[in-house]
Every structure is written in C-alpha cells, then in structure tokens.
Chains A and B, each alone.
Chain A
Amino acid sequence: MSKSEKITQKLQAMLPEDDVCRDESYQGGVVFSARVPLGKLRDAIKEFDEAGYYLESIAALDFQDTFELVYHLNCYEPRARIAIRVPCGHDQSPATVSDIFPSALWQEREVRDFFGIQFTDSPDMRPLLLPEDADYYPLKKTFGMVHAYHKRDEIYG
C-alpha cells in the first residue's frame, strides 16, 4: 500500500465522510483534499509526519466570510500530494505546526505578514518579508487595489 493510500485511510478515519474528496485525474495537482477543522489540525499534521510526508507549502486565502489555510503536503513517491484545507475565521488563531515540521516556521511567518493570522505557540513571529515595524497586511482584500472579494462558496460552490 503506497503512502498516500495509507494516509488517506487515516484521514478518512479521523474526519466525516464528505470532507475528504478524491480527484483521480490529478487535475488539481492533488490526489485528494481534506477539509480539517481548526481543532484537529495538529493531529492531522502529526499523521503526515509519521507517514513520511514533507510540508510543501502553506497558503492562505482571504474570503469575505472566512480565511482559509491550505496546507500542501507531498512525499517522494509519484503523484502523492495531498491538500488540507483549514477554515479559520477572521479572528481565530490556528495552532502552529512548526514543532512537527520546522519548515512551517517561515511559512507561518509569511502568512502572518500578509494576512495577519496569528499562530499560537510559535517560537518566532517576527516579520519575515515585511519590515519590522509594518502594521499593515498587504494580501488582505481590504488593502490596496483589489479586483474581487468573494465569499468562499462563490468559488468552491
């Protein structure tokens, strides 16, 4: 059984049925994407660490009703990428995963720089790309020139 199938089973055991959607054609670049609530984020990431995956990227999306954090994890086998989507309200703070995957430290600093999402228990929350005294969050859709600001369901419907 390949690593991605193993981890699929573990996640399906952890989450309700319709939160894990598979994509056999690999069109979106991921084998499946799982919707993980904020509280179960660290447990899910720990499963990935034990399965031998590495954290590829943390991206944040800004919608009118919520933020969404998308964690992409990959391992060294072909076609094994998995995305974890974590809805996170505009005032909520997700937990840090930098003690499980040290590469998350800089990714989380960048997300905090651009979106203002604070990660709890992180050892280092200095600005990464912006100057130390920056008090603005550039990638939020309320900053600067913006073309469109949608609710989450308008895109993923």
Chain B
Amino acid sequence: MAEQFQEPIVEQIYTLNLGPQHPSTHGVLRVLLDLDGEFIVKADPIIGYGHRGHEKMAENRTYKQFMPNTSRMDYLSGLLFNHGFVLAVEKFAGLEVPERAKYIRVICSELNRISSHLLWFGTYIMDLGGFTPFLYCFDDRENILDILDRVTGSRLTYSYCRFGGVTRDIDAEFISMTRAFIDRLRSRWTDYHNLVTKNVIFIHRTRDVGVITPELARQFGVVGPNLRACGIPFDVRKSEPYELYDRFDFEIPTGTKGDALDRYNVRLQEMEQSCRIIEQALDQLPEGSHINEVVPFKVRPPKGEIYFAFESARGLTAYYLVSDGSPYPYRCHIRVPSFGNLQVLTEVFRGTLVADAISILGSIDVVIPEIDR
C-alpha cells in the first residue's frame, strides 16, 4: 500500500489520538497519529503512563528484596526476568548453583516463554477481528499456569528463583503434567494452522505489512523475534550461552522478509523449539538438591559492575548492575527489548493505513509496562 502514498496536502492532515485506553494497544500506550485520509503521515508514541520507578526502588532494596519487582516489569515473562536477575547476581557474586536447580530453572523459563507467545498469538488474532483463537490459546495457557502454580504458588508474577537455586523442588506430578502438556500443545498446531495460518483473510492482512529491513532493525536496536524475522539469526541463548543452553539442541527460526507474517511464523516456531528444549531438559534432569544452602542471606557482590544479557520472550534483555560492596545495588539499569521495538514504529508507521497500524502494533509484541518500568 505504501507505494500509493504520496506526500499529503498540509491542510488536510488531522490528528487522531489512539488513546491510552484502547482495546488494541497492549498496555497503556498512546500514539498520536497525523492522518491524511486513512494514511498515517506521522506517528508519535507517548509512553510513561505506567512508570513505577523500579530502578529507583532497586537502589533501596537488597538484591533479594528486589526479586518481586523483576516479575512485574514484563508481567508476561515474569519467570524469565526472575531467572535473568538471579543469573546476573550469581555471576557477579560468584555463587554456585546445583545442577538440578539449573535444569528446573530452564524448564520453568521455557514454559513461561511458551505462555507469553500463546497470549501474544491470541491477542493478535483478536485485534484483527477473529475472536475465537483467543479462547483456544487461553485454554492451552491455563495448563501452563496450572503447572507453574503447583511449584511456584503464583499464576502470573513469580518470585520463584533464588540466588543458588529455586525455592521449591519439582515432583513427579510436575514432570508428568509437563510432558502431557507438551503432547497436547503439539496436537494443537494443526488446529492453529488450519484456523489461522492458512486463512486467506489473515494472510492478506499480514503479508508485506510492516516490513522492517535489517538496516532499520540495526539502527533502532530491534531485538528478538522481530529481528529474527528480518533474517538475522541472533539469539542470546546461542550467542552468549548461559545456564546450560549450550547442552540443548534447538534451532533459531528466522524469516526472510521482515513483514508481520514472518514475525508470526517465527514466534510459532519458537514455541515448538521451546517444547524441544523442555523435553531434552526433562530427559536430562539429574537428582540433587534444588538450592545451594551456603548462599549468604544478604548477598554482597564485590565492587564493580556486570552487564548480563538473556533472552526473554520479547528479545534481548539485560541487567546492568553496579555494586559498591554493600547488600544494596548502587545502580540497576534494565535494558528491555520493547524499547527499540516500539521506537521502530515511528519509521514503519509512515505511509501505512490505520488498519495496518493495528496489525503492525500487534505483530511487534510490545508490553508497555516493561518500557515504563
């Protein structure tokens, strides 16, 4: 459609506010659109409606007390953020973790990744007008939430990981539920592909829509499935392997064109790869303790800093911790993937239709509270 877009006549531009309360903006996002008819001339995202001051809170709490905050930044990948924080502090302070705990953390993180992608899938199709897959995805997601509820006690915002391991050990029931869930999810792929992926209306609404070129992605710092859909196979789990990911055999799905359909396909295949990782982890699960008892109550990392990057559901996330030797961090800066992913929209929205804008916004998969922190 962008080829048909010509430069607008200034008097005809009118401003529309895609307000903070809107069924399709995921979280409180406000986009000021300058429209010429149905084409978008300029898009200006305005954020900050959910700023809670996590970075300031981090400086006034010990490392352990900051744990619940990590879940609440990106509430859809709460366990992944937990996991990343714990890994950062363990690497910083040089703490040992038993093998079983590492496997448990990997399994729970990958389950969380699948649940985040399932929710994205349902809400994306709902934005486009198909209301039914949303409920199918939530049905699948309930299984994951039940599995994680058994062992962590929470459904959405977890504080399961501890420095040196995890709070509670998993039992045989957890393992059998997880295996049953993976089999069930694999049997659902045919349903999802028949209902959505092969649907001609869906393909027309996502093919060649919102193309992000690799150069644009590099300039704006786009990471995660959006970057992999452009064709660049960059995944932190492969490039800087942390916590046993070098022991598992999984692939990085990539796309070719960088349009919304590629981003959709990449995320669906990522769910399948996560299933593979979970299966291998369950097969390799050793016996042992679930936590390292010798870890001090108040962790005091040495003076210095660490920048630890991990792969959350949305892309490369990093904790930048500066410590002065006391149990309180001196500075904790969190680099979230949605920062770059949302910023690239100012370029991509230019010249598209409003209906396409909703499709692009959904396919980028931003979670606003993680930008607002």
Contact = CB atoms under 8 A, between A and B. Distances in A.
Interface residues of A, number: 46
B284 interface: no
B316 interface: yes
A13 interface: no
A96 B311 CA distance: 29
A101 interface: yes
B60 A145 contact: yes
A82 to B, nearest CB: 11
Interface in B50-98: 51, 53, 55-56, 59-60, 91
A155 B55 contact: no
Given A79-B239, A147-B59, A157 B303 contact: yes
Contacts of B303: 154-157
B85 to A, nearest CB: 14
A42 B115 CA distance: 42
A148 B56 contact: no
Interface in B92-111: none
Contact of A28 (B238, B304, B339): B304
Interface string A40-82: 0000000000001011110101100000001010101111010
A70 B218 CA distance: 19
A148 B330 CA distance: 7
A79 B48 CA distance: 33
B56 A59 contact: no
Interface string B292-310: 0000000000011111110
Nearest to A149: B330
Chain A contact residues, majority secondary structure:
loop
Chain B contact residues, majority secondary structure:
mixed
A107 interface: yes
A76 B232 contact: yes
Given A139-B55, A146-B59, A148-B326, A76 B343 contact: no
A102 interface: yes
A52 B48 contact: no
**Chain B interface: which size bin?**
35 or more
A101 B217 CA distance: 11
A101 B55 contact: no
Interface stretch (B133-141, B317-325, B357-365): B317-325
A127 B220 contact: no
A131 to B, nearest CB: 7
26 contacts: A29-B309, A56-B316, A56-B318, A57-B318, A59-B333, A72-B307, A72-B320, A74-B309, A77-B239, A78-B240, A79-B240, A81-B307, A102-B347, A103-B221, A103-B343, A106-B339, A128-B47, A129-B373, A130-B48, A139-B59, A144-B56, A145-B60, A146-B59, A147-B60, A155-B323, A155-B330
Given A29-B309, A129-B48, A146-B60, 11 more contacts: A28-B307, A29-B307, A29-B308, A29-B318, A61-B331, A102-B220, A129-B47, A129-B51, A145-B60, A146-B59, A154-B324
**Nearest 6 pairs of A and B residues by beta carbon:** A29-B307, A103-B221, A57-B335, A78-B239, A59-B333, A129-B48
